């Protein structure tokens, strides 16, 4: 049985330490955690984090006392109290706290009210309060905390209560799959081995006496694998007899849909018999099944470790859009042949787990979880699902129950649900670095390549280097999106011993996880200018703009105009007319297909032209500066995809025409003003301005496809290029023209899109 991928922000990379890809954890000998010694008069309590819409390091604060779980009231609660809670749970610090039952209402007693902490207490029970169990609060006032991801080095869970609590969340420093068999030590990623937890600064095995398939399901999921499989138990039993394991003191109890091991419950304390906590068993072993794209490969086959595979015979029902890395983004589902979003009402980790499982099974591409789409651009189109409630075991989020009466009621695209899934740690980021920049987000690109039998650092040839290549670099390093691509890096000296070019001819589609997966020259390099200061460089950003053209505006504003030749002088200068213009009599006219364009910036940062202000070109006819050479393409295509007429905006004056409520305009072209499109604003190019047309003077009557592509040369980085295209059906009878079925490219099912041939965005063959 395949299992859904679990999600977490506290992703563990410890299992890859032996490969030398990632930095290890702090030396356990340093700053080891010491269990607190509390005065006898302080009540003994245990804490846990619980509730809805949360990650493993945040949630409603719950207290176990007198064999009953209860909550804490938010009255007088401060960040100092949150600090005490987080440290008592094994986290190094508190990030924030939340009042008014943000994580849902708890049950049972409210054990603490009017809590006053200094931040130095060793237990929440040491803080001043009304007294344990004394409260006038309701569960609508339950307090929650957000703790840092970082665990206290050497932290060890200590059960301070006399009774055995088997419902506490598991609190360990780290988890890993340690490969035991030599064949698995050489594979990347690691898919089989001992399950080990780091406790008290030491790695320990888990006894398999009470281990279940659901536990394996969670372990495999948190490392980015969709399922587990059988393994050779005999070999591992032989290994355990030869080398005595060091066992953890507890068993684990997972239901199977947890996002992380730390969300599972603590099982029984294992009795110590003959200096062993697992007398009748052996260490737990898991053998995980990776998606096809992450199939294990020997280290020699590193370049082939990731393969994008899409089944041509299958139409997926779920997809992700707008994320910085593979497996992150806004969730979209296919319904009635049209892609739409999911409202985040009741959206939680369980539903996100189901989404990631679906994506893993079909496209083999996952990263980590993100709850909301605040950092993922919204889109136009329908909202298909609302108030989704998944059990965690569905094969697709489309199988989860949802409120069918409230598909989009009260939901805007600001509430689109998103995820960040787990992917297997492939170590890609250790083969690439930025050098010489002013901050970690910029610099000369340096790659680790094999040359003459050894791995060496070197530069990438800057010739042909562009936005798509820069996007892959930023993704590989986990730095978000590319903001700029540089073909020369004079201001970034980089490492002196890495000046030589080790990679050239790089051409990326923009979707790759590693630069080595892009097309590039092999052993025989070709880079006339060489490396050093002529090497490729990038500047990365955590956010990016996202331009989306409103298809309804195009459809509603289309008309024909027969324009006299003497009124087309400026258009002729901008090359906005058909090829037969020069042979047209001066007293004649040209027939123009006119329409309006309303271009929204639905991203998370402003859209700015690539060219710097001092290089803009003044256009005397139109009386404004041109900031981009090519901003849009307008094409009229036959039904078989052949171009019969074309138009374009040679260079646009980018400015804010209108904005959403509460957002102020920032860009205006007048008087050499700044150019751009603010987040939440749109730039409208009315049907009656020059070049806002396609010259169809030479087009015969018939049925056609009209296509608009924004930012066609990828000059400016965006979070999503797939929505930069609008396609329409078009009928021309020689006198009138009709535009219908206008839609954003990719917003319909594959069957519908197949009837709209033409440019396909984000394909390297079209660049």
Mean pLDDT over residues 324-350, rounded? 86
Domain shared by 130 and 232, yes or no = no
Residue 398 maps to a domain: yes
pLDDT score, position 650: 58
Domain shared by 657 and 745, yes or no = yes
Mean pLDDT of the chain: 81
Domain shared by 513 and 601, yes or no = no
Domain shared by 614 and 750, yes or no = yes
Residue 685 maps to a domain: yes
Domain shared by 723 and 674, yes or no = yes
Does 167 score more than 70 pLDDT? Answer: no
Comparing 7-21, 104-118, 386-400, which segment has the lowest mean pLDDT? 7-21
pLDDT score, position 430: 87
Phi, psi angles (nearest 5°) of residue 60: -70, 135
pLDDT score, position 757: 62
Q: What is the pLDDT of residues 262-283, one digit of tens each?
A: 888 887 776 544 446 677 788 9
Phi-psi region of 70 (alpha: psi -120 to 50; beta: other; left: phi over 0): beta
Domain shared by 213 and 338, yes or no = no
pLDDT score, position 23: 33
Residue 153 maps to a domain: no
Domain shared by 609 and 746, yes or no = yes
Helix %, strand %, coil % for the chain, to 5?
15, 30, 55
Whether the Cβ atoms of residue 326 and residue 370 lie closer than 8 Å to each other: no
Comparing 424-438, 480-494, 561-575, 688-702, which segment has the lowest mean pLDDT? 561-575
Please give the Cα distance from 702 to 127 (Å, whole number): 80
Mean pLDDT over residues 393-409, rounded? 79
pLDDT score, position 309: 44
Residue 614 maps to a domain: yes
Please give the Cα distance from 422 to 274 (Å, whole number): 40
Which of 507, 523, 541 is the C-terminal boundary of a domain? 541
Q: Which residues pair with 208 in a beta bridge?
A: none
Does 405 score more than 90 pLDDT? Answer: no
| Domain total in the chain | 5
Q: What is the largest CA-CA distance in the chain?
A: 106
Per-residue pLDDT band for 29 (boundaries 50, 70, 90) equals very low
Task: Report percent pLDDT > 90 for the chain.
Answer: 36
Q: What is the pLDDT of residues 585-613, one digit of tens each?
A: 888 888 999 999 999 999 989 999 888 88
Domain shared by 327 and 272, yes or no = no
Residue 298 maps to a domain: no
Radius of gyration of the chain (CA): 30
Domain shared by 715 and 571, yes or no = yes
pTM more than 0.95: no
Domain shared by 405 and 473, yes or no = no
Pick 684 or 407 by higher pLDDT.
684
- How many residues appear in the chain? 767
Pick 712 or 757 by higher pLDDT.
712
Does 391 score more than 60 pLDDT? Answer: yes
Instruction: DSSP for 649-716, please give it.
Output: ESS-----SEE-TT-------TTT----B-TTEEEEE-TTSTT-EEE-TTPPSEEEEEEEEESTT--S
Q: What is the pLDDT of residues 703-750, one digit of tens each?
A: 999 999 999 989 899 998 888 999 999 999 999 999 999 999 888 887
Q: What is the pLDDT of residues 464-509, one digit of tens each?
A: 999 999 999 999 998 999 999 999 999 898 888 899 999 999 999 8
Comparing 299-308, 422-431, 550-559, 687-696, which segment has the lowest mean pLDDT? 299-308
Domain shared by 695 and 559, yes or no = yes
Per-residue pLDDT band for 448 (boundaries 50, 70, 90) equals very high
Does 370 score more than 60 pLDDT? Answer: no
Q: 284-296 as b/e, with b when 16 or more CB fall inside 10 Å?
A: bbbbbbbbebbbb
Q: What is the pLDDT of residues 182-241, one digit of tens each?
A: 888 877 788 899 999 988 778 999 998 889 999 999 999 888 888 888 998 889 888 888
What CATH number should be reported for the domain holding residue 87?
3.10.250.10
pLDDT score, position 144: 95
Please give the Cα distance from 516 to 303 (Å, whole number): 6
Does 71 score more than 50 pLDDT? Answer: yes
Q: Is 159 exposed, middle or buried (0-12, 13-18, 19+ CB in 10 A)?
A: middle
Does 32 score more than 80 pLDDT? Answer: no
pLDDT score, position 619: 75
Whether the Cβ atoms of residue 624 and residue 689 lie closer than 8 Å to each other: no
Mean pLDDT over residues 162-167, rounded? 54
Comparing 318-322, 329-333, 449-453, which segment has the lowest mean pLDDT? 449-453
Which of 509, 541, 573 is the C-terminal boundary of a domain? 541
Whether the Cβ atoms of residue 49 and residue 262 lie closer than 8 Å to each other: no
Does 302 score more than 70 pLDDT? Answer: no
Per-residue pLDDT band for 647 (boundaries 50, 70, 90) equals confident
Pick 160 or 536 by higher pLDDT.
536
Residue 167 maps to a domain: no
Q: Is 310 exposed, middle or buried (0-12, 13-18, 19+ CB in 10 A)?
A: exposed
Which of 84, 112, 147 is the C-terminal boundary of a domain? 147
Per-residue pLDDT band for 408 (boundaries 50, 70, 90) equals low
Residue 327 maps to a domain: yes
- 284 in helix, strand or coil? coil
Does 111 score more than 90 pLDDT? Answer: yes
Mean pLDDT over residues 748-766, rounded? 59
Does 28 score more than 80 pLDDT? Answer: no
Per-residue pLDDT band for 159 (boundaries 50, 70, 90) equals low
Q: Is 158 exposed, middle or buried (0-12, 13-18, 19+ CB in 10 A)?
A: exposed
Domain shared by 227 and 138, yes or no = no
Does 373 score more than 50 pLDDT? Answer: no
Task: Report percent pLDDT > 70 for the chain.
Answer: 84
Residue 27 maps to a domain: no
- The parent domain of residue 105 ranges over 46-147
């Amino acid at each position: 049985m395949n299992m859904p991928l679990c999600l977490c922000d506290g992703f563990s990379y410890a299992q890859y330490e032996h490969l030398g890809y990632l930095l290890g954890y702090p030396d356990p000998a340093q700053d080891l955690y010491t269990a607190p010694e509390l005065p006898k008069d302080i009540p003994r309590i245990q804490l846990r984090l619980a509730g809805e819409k949360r990650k493993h390091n945040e949630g409603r604060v719950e207290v176990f006392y007198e064999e009953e779980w209860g909550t804490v009231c938010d009255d007088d609660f401060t960040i100092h109290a949150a600090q005490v809670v987080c440290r008592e749970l094994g986290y190094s610090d508190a990030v924030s706290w939340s009042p008014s039952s943000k994580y849902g209402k708890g049950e049972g007693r409210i054990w603490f009210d009017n809590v006053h902490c200094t931040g130095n207490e060793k237990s929440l029970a040491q803080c001043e309060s009304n007294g344990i169990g004394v409260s006038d609060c309701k569960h609508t006032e339950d307090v929650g905390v957000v703790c840092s991801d970082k665990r206290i080095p050497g932290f060890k869970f200590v059960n301070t209560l006399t009774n055995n609590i088997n419902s506490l969340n598991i609190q360990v420093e780290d988890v890993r799959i340690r490969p035991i068999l030599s064949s698995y030590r050489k594979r990347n990623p690691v898919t089989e081995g001992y399950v080990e937890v780091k406790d008290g600064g030491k790695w320990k095995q888990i006894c398999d006496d009470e281990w279940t398939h659901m536990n394996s399901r969670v372990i495999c999921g948190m490392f980015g694998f969709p399922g587990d499989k059988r393994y050779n138990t005999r070999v591992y039993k032989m290994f355990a007899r030869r080398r005595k394991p060091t066992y953890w003191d507890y068993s684990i109890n997972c239901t199977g849909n947890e996002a992380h091991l730390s969300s599972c419950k603590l099982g029984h304390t294992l009795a110590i018999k003959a200096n062993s906590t697992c007398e009748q068993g052996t260490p737990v072993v898991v053998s995980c099944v990776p998606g096809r794209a992450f199939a294990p490969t020997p280290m020699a086959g590193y370049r082939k470790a990731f393969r994008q595979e899409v089944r041509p015979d299958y139409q997926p029902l779920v997809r992700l859009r707008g994320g910085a890395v593979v497996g992150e983004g806004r969730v979209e589902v296919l319904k009635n042949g049209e892609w739409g979003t999911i409202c985040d009402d009741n959206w939680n980790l369980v539903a996100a787990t189901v989404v990631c499982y679906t994506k893993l099974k079909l496209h083999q591409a996952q990263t980590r979880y993100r709850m909301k789409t605040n950092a993922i651009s919204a889109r136009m189109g329908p909202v298909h699902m609302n108030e989704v409630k998944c059990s965690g075991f569905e094969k697709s989020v489309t199988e989860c129950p949802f409120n069918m009466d409230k598909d989009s009621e009260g939901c805007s695209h600001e509430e689109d649900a998103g995820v960040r899934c787990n992917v297997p740690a492939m170590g890609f980021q250790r083969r690439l670095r930025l050098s010489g920049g002013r901050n970690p987000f910029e610099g000369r690109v340096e790659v680790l390549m094999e040359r003459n039998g050894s791995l060496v650092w070197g530069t990438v040839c800057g010739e042909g280097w562009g936005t798509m290549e820069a996007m892959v670099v930023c993704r590989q390093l986990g730095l978000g999106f590319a903001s700029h691509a540089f073909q020369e890096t004079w201001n970034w000296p980089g490492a002196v011993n890495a000046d030589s070019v080790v990679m050239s001819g790089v051409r990326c589609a923009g979707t790759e996880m590693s630069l080595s997966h892009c097309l590039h020259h092999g052993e025989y390099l070709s880079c006339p200018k060489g490396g050093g200061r002529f090497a490729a460089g990038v500047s990365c950003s955590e956010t990016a703009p996202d331009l989306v053209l409103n298809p309804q505006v195009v459809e509603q504003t289309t008309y024909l105009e027969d324009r006299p030749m003497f009124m087309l002088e400026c258009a002729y200068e901008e090359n906005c007319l058909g090829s037969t213009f020069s042979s047209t009599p001066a007293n004649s006219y040209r027939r123009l297909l006119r329409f309006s364009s309303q271009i929204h910036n639905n991203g998370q940062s402003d859209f700015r032209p690539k060219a710097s202000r001092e290089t803009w070109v003044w256009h005397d006819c139109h009386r404004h500066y041109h900031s981009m050479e090519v901003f849009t393409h307008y094409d009229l295509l036959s039904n078989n995809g052949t171009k019969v007429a074309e138009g374009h905006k040679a260079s646009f004056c980018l400015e804010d025409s209108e904005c959403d409520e509460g957002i102020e305009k920032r860009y205006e072209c007048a008087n050499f003003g700044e150019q751009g499109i603010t987040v939440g604003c749109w730039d409208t190019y009315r049907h009656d301005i020059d070049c806002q047309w396609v010259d169809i003077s030479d087009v015969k009557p018939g049925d056609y496809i009209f296509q608009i592509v924004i930012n066609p040369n990828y000059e400016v980085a965006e979070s999503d290029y797939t929505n930069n295209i609008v396609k329409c059906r078009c009928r021309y009878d020689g006198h009138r023209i009709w535009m219908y079925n206008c839609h954003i490219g990719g917003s319909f099912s594959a069957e519908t899109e197949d009837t709209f041939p033409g440019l396909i965005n984000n394909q390297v063959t079209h660049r």
